[in-house]
Every structure is written in C-alpha cells, then in structure tokens.
Structure 1
C-alpha cells in the first residue's frame, strides 16, 4: 500500500466512475467531492503532517481516498482514518468502502456505521485525538452544528476542520457560529483554487469556494455565556418565520 497505489485508484474512479451507484445514474457526479477539491484537501492535510483524521460521510469514497493518500504521503508511524457514515452499507451498498479496500486503505481506515451524533460522542469518550477532520455528512443545520460541537473536542487545539458545501445556508450558518463565538479562524488559502458555487444556488448571490477550512484556537477556550455574537450571514436567505 503506497500513495502511488492510492493515486491510481483515484484516477480510475475519476475516469470510470464507481462500480455501482444509487439511482439516478448521475448520483456520483452530484454527490462526490470534485477532483480539484480532493487534491486541495489532500495537500492541506499533507502540509499539516496529519496522523489521525476523522471524516463524516463516505458516499463514493473520493474524499476518503484523498485523505488516505495524504496519510500515506506524510508517513506517520500510526496513521488512522476514522470514517463515520451510517448510510454506507444500506444506501450505498458499501461502494465507497470497497474502493478503499481496492486502494489497500482498509488497514488505515475504519468505518463507523452509526449516526455521527452518536459516533463522534463515542470517539470523544474513548479519548480519540485527531489532527484534522473533514465534514461532508448531513447538511441539516442542527446535525452539522452537532458534528462541529463534537469535532471541537476531538480535533487537537490548533488543528483543522474542513467542510464541504459551505455554499449551502445550513452548513454555512452552523460553521459561522463557531467562527464568531469560539475563535475558529478561517484558512481561506486552503480552497482558494477550488470549485466555486453561488450561495444557496442563487444566481444573484456571490460565488464562494465550495469547501472551507478553519483552524481551532490553541489553547482552546470556552466563551462566557454572557458573550454571544450573531452568526447569521447577511449574504444568504433568512430563515422562515411563523
């Protein structure tokens, strides 16, 4: 198992697509992280020298392959890739996991097939410490918010959290709470050359990078309950009232 072998599987997946998909036929193109963003994800993790990475959401395995390539390139003594996806077996027929096995990454990666709100809590209780996390699971606001709540306890102080689909109002808003209230610092250079998408898919909205990276404060801290910064962006639709 080498980084070159993983790159070969990534190339095959990009060229030929997965061996099977959910319906409709174009589900792979709709769901998977674009190759350009996978490369940027890999590069930022290599620059961080990661040894342990937590990923939420596996689907067809494109981002997981990029993370695996990063771990092998870094060459840490005990690489670990924890992937949380309760839908991999039932909804995806293990197609993402199979591609990791094809790449020889099953010795590094482990699949936790339970909801992230439970799986991440168990990882915290087990004392897991990660260098970085990649979030591409549920896009519902409350579930993204809970994922980030537990990931701030899993990822070491000064580590990175990276997210897909920052153009969606739900993901964007959940993340902004932590940026504005808990000292998470944007790392705009990480995905500056990545895929762009208009906020809320609104033709009149500005284009932003699809993925976003933030760095956790070091040392970590808890803000006083008397301090609260509003976190709803002015560049996206307001939630419905009534």
Structure 2
C-alpha cells in the first residue's frame, strides 16, 4: 500500500496543485520512521495529523512487523473527514490496519488531554499537525505526559522556525535529547524555507528522559535566543 501510494498517489486529493506531494511525507522519510519504530519495538504510537496517510501507513507497517501483543495506533485529526474526505482513513482500512488503529476526529488540544485522562501510555509519537508555535507547544506538552519515559517523539517539518522553537524549550528545560542519526539520510529543507538558509533534515526524533520530573520554578533556560538565531540564519533578522 505504501509503495502504491508513493507511485500512484491517493485515489482523491484536495483541489490544490500538487497537494499530495506538498502535504504527504516523502517515501524515504516514511521508511526511516518505520525503521526507527521497529528498532524501538514500539507497541503503542500516537500520531497527530493523518491527511493522505503516508506516515500512518509507515507506522502501521512498523507495528505489524514487530507484531507486539497489543499493537495500538491512535491518530488525531479533526480535518480527515471535512477536508480530506476520509481518503487517508480509507487507505488505512484498505491496508487492513483498522483493527489496530483508532481515529480521533478532534483537535489535538482536546484529544491529547483525553488520552492522558484515560491513562494511555505510548512508546512513541509522531507530530505533523498544526505548525503554529502555540499549538505545537501544547501538543508536545501533553505528549510528554503520554509517551513513556525514555520513549520517542518525532516531528515532521522541523525546518519551520515555529516547530524548531517549540521543541527547543523541551530540549533545554526538560531534557529531551535529539537523535541526529535517525533521519540523517532523509530529505532536507532550508530553515524557514529560505533557499539561502541552512538545509536541515525535514524530520527530527527526540528521546525523552528516563523519568518524568518537573524542574524547579527558577530553573528556566531561555529558548527565544535560539528562535532569533534560526531567523537570523534564514536572513530574516538583522
């Protein structure tokens, strides 16, 4: 199904030029995501954003490859029906992955707290929802409470300053550690989409600390400076 999707595209797309190529994650990046989750032997994965299901199929492939006792893939996407005509969900069903997959058609800011309340513990999460800073930050805040200690959070479109800045807080203040080799051979995009800026991997993976601990109130490391550095590197400041 993944090969067919990459070669032929989905059976339906929105009425935007090259919408599938623009929205969907490239096939090789999906391969790297699959391989990372297989190496992690992930059993439960939370995904934010379904769209045309390119990453969702890769996550499903990882789960059926490792064949854990209770595989579970929870996808959060409020736009799957009203914007994408359920085409991504249809591909999940066509691949036979629907028995292990749950689609939550709600905002992630609503769905993620519900998962926390329900006591869901995930081994990994893949984030490709809204790219607005405040919404990415909220996603990561709740995923920190959902993904087990030592688990993984993978972000798509890490080249965007909003996504880079949001995750930078968790790196500097909460001990998230980047895995630079995970997507080292993946596709790259200049920071901020500026052709003259530094090309960086499209996706980036982070490992959470081995324990969920809260820092002291006064133990705060500023992360706005990195945000300014990103923009300066992209030629947008100074």
TM range (shorter): over 0.9
Q: 1:223 corresponds to which residue? A: 215
Q: 1:187 corresponds to which residue? A: 179
Q: 2:195 corresponds to which residue? A: 203
Q: Which structure 2 residues correspond to residues 57-206 of structure 1 after superposition, within 5 A?
A: 57-206=49-198
- Unmatched 5+ stretches in structure 2: none
**CA distance, structure 2, for counterparts of residue 167 and residue 51 of structure 1:** 28
Q: 1:236 corresponds to which residue? A: 230
The residue matched to 2:230 in structure 1 has which SS? coil
Q: How many Å apart are 1:218 and its aligned residue?
A: 0.5
Q: How many Å apart are 1:237 and its aligned residue?
A: 1.7
Q: How many Å apart are 1:55 and its aligned residue?
A: 0.1
TM-score of the superposition, structure 1-length normalised? 0.94
Q: 1:5 corresponds to which residue? A: none
Q: How many Å apart are 1:182 and its aligned residue?
A: 0.2
Could you give the per-residue CA deviations for residues 149-196 of structure 1, whole angstroms, max 9, x where no partner exists?
Answer: 000000000000000000000101000000000000001111011101
Residue in structure 2 matching 1:213, options 205, 212, 215: 205
Query: How many residue pairs were aligned?
Result: 232
The residue matched to 1:236 in structure 2 has which SS? helix
Could you give the per-residue CA deviations for residues 23-55 of structure 1, whole angstroms, max 9, x where no partner exists?
Answer: 114100000001110000000000000000000
TM-score of the superposition, structure 2-length normalised? 0.95
Could you give the per-residue CA deviations for residues 84-133 of structure 1, whole angstroms, max 9, x where no partner exists?
Answer: 00000000000000000000000011100000000000000000000000
Query: After the TM superposition, which parts of structure 1 deviate over 3 Å for at least 4 consecutive aligned residues?
Result: none
**CA distance, structure 2, for counterparts of residue 225 and residue 195 of structure 1:** 39
Could you give the per-residue CA deviations for residues 187-212 of structure 1, whole angstroms, max 9, x where no partner exists?
Answer: 11110111011000112211110000
Q: Is the 8 A contact 1:56 1:135 kept in 2?
A: yes
**CA distance, structure 1, for counterparts of residue 229 and residue 20 of structure 2:** 29
- Unmatched 5+ stretches in structure 1: 1-8
Residue in structure 1 matching 2:38, options 23, 39, 46: 46
